[in-house]
Amino acid sequence: MIWPDSRHYPIELRLPVLWGHMDAMGHVNNTVYFRFFESARVEYMAQMGLFARQGEDEVVPILASTRCDYKVPLVYPDEVVVGARTVKVGRTSFTQEYAIWSTAKNALAAQGEGIIVCIETKSGKPIAVPDDVRAAIERVDKSALTVALDRA
């Protein structure tokens, strides 16, 4: 996928727009965009290897906040490409950017962001992003940059 603004996303999912995604206004309901973001975020976490360790870790990532800027309404039928990448790693959190591309309209339909906080399971309090999580983020995002550079 070539994004119009030269962004490179390590995760690019192709998802169908379903008839059930539509609302009474005749376009995809706003909540569905967040589900598309969630699908990309979950795949990103899977690529990081977080689900392989599920139940063993004392630190878990949770979604603390999310937002979406709607650009073009989606309608059935369509297929979207959803991209996810990490753009910032802080002390206890990391920020991801998301994009949704309408293949039917050949246009950017939405952009968004999610802030993921690392939480200690016992206390429920934020904790520093572990080194292995930082390394996994770097590995996943670097793989996308390598592929993008190879395409150029």
Averaged over successive runs of 10 residues, the pLDDT of the chain (152 residues) comes to 68 96 97 98 93 72 97 98 95 96 96 96 93 94 54 38
Strand spans (E) along 71-137: 78-89, 93-102, 107-120
Q: What is residue 81's predicted lDDT score, i.e. its pLDDT?
A: 95
For residues 21 and 76, the answer to whether their CB atoms sit within 8 Å is yes
Q: Phi, psi at residue 27, to the nearest 5°?
A: -140, 170
Query: Where do we find the tokens 């063993």?
Result: 56
CATH topology of domain 11-133: Thiol Ester Dehydrase; Chain A (3.10.129)
The domain ranges of the chain are 11-133
Q: What is residue 24's predicted lDDT score, i.e. its pLDDT?
A: 97
Distance in angstroms (rounded) separating the CA atoms of residues 54 and 123: 18
> Burial, 96: exposed, middle or buried (Cβ in 10 Å; 0-12, 13-18, 19+)?
buried
Distance in angstroms (rounded) separating the CA atoms of residues 113 and 34: 10
Q: What is residue 40's predicted lDDT score, i.e. its pLDDT?
A: 97
Q: What is residue 70's predicted lDDT score, i.e. its pLDDT?
A: 98
> Burial, 60: exposed, middle or buried (Cβ in 10 Å; 0-12, 13-18, 19+)?
middle
User: Given CA atoms 106, 110, 111, 117 in this order, what sign does their dihedral have?
Assistant: negative
